[in-house]
Structures are given as C-alpha cells and as structure tokens.
Structure 1
C-alpha cells in the first residue's frame, strides 16, 4: 500500500511508498504551477505564497526555493491519503498502461505493487524466472493463486531455494507458434479454472512488444480489447507493460487503444505518477 496525492489544479496524481516521500513530489509539482511566485532582485530571492500571506526573502536561492516547496507542501499535506493502492484508481476493474521499460526495476516495482493486491495473479511474460523471483522476493506473502504463462521454459534447476510444491503457483509453457487469439483463450481458461468468488484478479501482460512486432495492428488491438472484455465479466486489472517511447510501432497501436486504457502510469524511483 502507498500514499497518494492528486493536484486539484490539473490531472496529476502521484503514489509514493510512504507519506514522507510525498513531500518532494507535492512541493516540486506546486512550485511548477506557481513559479512566478519566486523572484530575484537586489541580490536576494523572494517567494510569495499564493495560498496565504506568507512571504520570505533570502540570499541563497536554492535554500529559498526549498523553503518555498516545503511551505507549499504544508498547504496540501492534509489531502495526502495513506494505505491506498493504484488499482483503486480504476476500482480494480480496468486496463492500466504501465509506461516503463519492460525489464526494468521501475516496471518491477509496479508488478510487485499490483500483484501484492491480487488474489489470482496471472503473468504473461517472456521472463518467467524473473517474474517468480520478483514475487518471491518482494511480496510479503504469495497470492492465493499465481499462474505464470510464457513461451519460455522455466529453469527450475536455477531456483533450488524455491520449493514449488509449497507455493500456490503454476507455470504454463506455451507453444511459441501460438498467436494472440490462442494466448487470450489460454488466459481466459486459466481464469475459469482458478478464480473463486470474490477474487481480485491481477493480469500482467509483459509481451505486448512481441505481439506488436509479430502481428498486424488489428490483431494486437483485438487482443487487448478481448482481454479487457474478458475481465469485465469477473473484474480485475489488466496491466500492459510497454515502453512506447522506445518503439514507435507500439505507440501507434496504443493510439488506437486510447479509449480502452483507463489509466496510464509511469514509474520512476519507486514513485508512480498518472500520465496523460
């Protein structure tokens, strides 16, 4: 769970690991809105708060700006919510685009965050070992049921410290010749076979780049739309892990899916920010 703050002047929303980490986020964001409130003359820097009558003058500009950011933070500190989850932003029923390199620490932070809130976790990934290791290392407890789906074989011999007989997990290896339609059907069958009433579903798709590279635009779009529609029946969050900035073809497909995306989140240094 995290702390969350949303700007009432724009659509900016941020999640941080704790309340203390939010201070820099709120101060910097509000300073960007009120940069004109900082001025320098007669060798001194002055800031004049737009929310109250407070004004300060100092010789050191950096110190003055930091003081102003702290002051701005105090004006919104009581609006910081604690103990929240990013999934609550879409009521645990929607599609989230995660803007981060797929195999990065930032993407892993969001994976762990989402899967920690799920009862049934399904991860469609090209790196099954990385996914299992992340869940083992980062989650306090395993979800009720986890299913890892990949065209890559899982190297069980590389994980001697994991007793798979004691972990509620299944690793499904797919034929790499299967297309998105067969992949989507597999995921749907996994939901049917593993979901119990009241489950929160966390569905990770980390192979969207591969789908876009291998299939046409319509096929890639239909894959996401049908997965989203499948989750509409049972509820859950579909997460698309994509680095659109690094792949113009992915960016093009996402433009066609804009109406399907309920939330866009960027991850950086353990902080999550609503994008777009």
Structure 2
C-alpha cells in the first residue's frame, strides 16, 4: 500500500496504490488552504501557498480540481510505497478499527493486516466469512491461521475448501464461556503456534457482543489483558468496532483510550488515522 502523512497535522492515510493517493492528498491539503481559493469578477482564482503559481478560470469546479492536483504534486515525493498499517505501531500495539464489523471496509483492513501476519488469530462470530476472506483476498495463506468462534464452521454446507491443504485450524468455543476463557484460549493458541520472529495479527470482531453481555470492567479487562499478552511478542491486536452505532461500545472505548495505540477509519478501501 501507499502511505502519506501530513506534516501540518496528525493525518495519515493508506491507499491501495500511489495513484489512489492523489485524491486524498489534494483534498486534505485544500482543506488546510481553503483561503487560497477565491472568487471575484465572475472568475475563480487559486494561489498556491507553496510556490508562486496562481491560476484564474471561469470554471470553478475545474479550477478547484486543478488546484488539488497542483497541491498533490508538492507532496508526491513524500508518498511511501510498500507501507503497512502495522508498521505505524511497529507490529506491537492495539489498533481500533472504526467500521461496521460485517462490512467490506472492515474486510479490507482485515485482509491487509492478516496478509502481513505470520500467525493469524481471528476471534469472530462469523468463522466462514473470515475463512472465505483469507482464501479469496490473500495471495498466500499465513504460516498459521487459527479462527476462534462460538459459532460452528459450516463444514457440511461449505465443503469446497479443503482444510487439509491449508495451514488453518478452527476452534469452536462453548457460547457460555466468558471473556476470561476466550482470552485464555487465545493465549494458549499463541503458546502452541508462535514461532520466534512471527508477526502476530490478532483480530477481535466480537467486541460488541462482549460489551452487550458483560459489564464495563470485564470488557475493559479483556482488552487490557490481550494487549498485555501481545506486548513484546511482535503482534497487533485489532478491535473492530462501530462505536457510532453503539453508545455502550463508545463508553467502554473511552475507558480504554490509553490502551489504544492507533485509531483507524476504513472507507472505500482507504485507511485513515483517526484522532
């Protein structure tokens, strides 16, 4: 992926490639320099804050588009290729992903993280969706993948994947188990599967269910202990949450603010640092 960070504020964006970043940089820099676009005598003028270039045109939309392209050229050399969101936390931290859990935007970030992991652990309410995503979106399977869920994988109705040919295990948990037991299961999976030097991609897509079913302290302790378990192991814990759709989740996240190393919003295949 391509990455660009604004040197004027904390904005950071990742896009699928360098070409896709053009619109992001231009729009962001225009927001910083909106006063550089003026309209008078029936014409629109932009005056670049970085150089002596200025243009005047009757077509306002065309002038603004041209200005965005011009602004992009000033930062084009600062766009990094081959970047990974996990690099932002040196593959050792907790990332809050702002996107509906069962959405294409969340899936895009799941695929991005898991493609960079050697040991992938996904705690999900939809194991088939996770397996399909990895099978269809990744160029190659991670060294080891473990999918953890209280829902059974539909082996009989989805027989087209040969699990004997891919390095994956599906762990079905008793739905009566609480966050402590789920966390202990994840910890044991790390012990049993981690190889020295592995980058661990740990996805938690059941945070909404935990918040709904347990008290605030239990939900917070679950995240803190998982984060502590990964600390120094070389892994990224990803919390997939749609806080805007659930005020209770938003409340819990407020208590976890010091635990979150990076907040990412996913939209249309682009990832943007939030907050």
TM-score by length of 1: 0.99
- Is the 2:92–2:232 contact (alpha carbons within 8 Å) kept by the matching residues of 1? no
Report the CA distance between 1:160 and its aligned residue: 2.5
Gaps of 5+ in 1: none
- Is the 2:197–2:234 contact (alpha carbons within 8 Å) kept by the matching residues of 1? no
- Is the 2:123–2:204 contact (alpha carbons within 8 Å) kept by the matching residues of 1? yes
Report the CA distance between 1:157 and its aligned residue: 1.9
Report the CA distance between 1:235 and its aligned residue: 1.9
CA displacement 1:93-151 (0-9 Å, x = unmatched): 00000000000000000000000000000000000000000000000000000000000
The total of aligned residue pairs comes to 275
Report the CA distance between 1:159 and its aligned residue: 2.4
Secondary structure (helix, strand or coil) at the match of 1:27 reads helix
Looking at structure 2, the residues matched to 117 and 159 of structure 1 have their Cα atoms a distance apart, in angstroms, of: 27
Q: In the alignment, which residue of structure 2 is the partner of 1:213? A: 212
Looking at structure 1, the residues matched to 232 and 77 of structure 2 have their Cα atoms a distance apart, in angstroms, of: 37
Looking at structure 1, the residues matched to 267 and 156 of structure 2 have their Cα atoms a distance apart, in angstroms, of: 33
Report the CA distance between 1:254 and its aligned residue: 0.2
Looking at structure 2, the residues matched to 116 and 245 of structure 1 have their Cα atoms a distance apart, in angstroms, of: 28
Report the CA distance between 1:268 and its aligned residue: 0.5
CA displacement 1:203-261 (0-9 Å, x = unmatched): 00000000000000000000000000000141200000000000000000000000000
| RMSD (CA atoms) | 0.5
Report the CA distance between 1:189 and its aligned residue: 0.2
Looking at structure 2, the residues matched to 268 and 177 of structure 1 have their Cα atoms a distance apart, in angstroms, of: 34
Secondary structure (helix, strand or coil) at the match of 1:14 reads strand
Secondary structure (helix, strand or coil) at the match of 2:258 reads coil
- Is the 2:141–2:166 contact (alpha carbons within 8 Å) kept by the matching residues of 1? yes
- Is the 2:2–2:18 contact (alpha carbons within 8 Å) kept by the matching residues of 1? yes
Looking at structure 2, the residues matched to 160 and 254 of structure 1 have their Cα atoms a distance apart, in angstroms, of: 39
Q: In the alignment, which residue of structure 1 is the partner of 2:94? A: 95
Secondary structure (helix, strand or coil) at the match of 2:120 reads strand
Counting only pairs closer than 5 Å after superposition, residues 135-214 of structure 1 correspond to structure 2 as 135-214=134-213
CA displacement 1:135-186 (0-9 Å, x = unmatched): 0000000000000000000001232221100110000000000000000000
Q: In the alignment, which residue of structure 2 is the partner of 1:251? A: 250
Secondary structure (helix, strand or coil) at the match of 2:220 reads helix
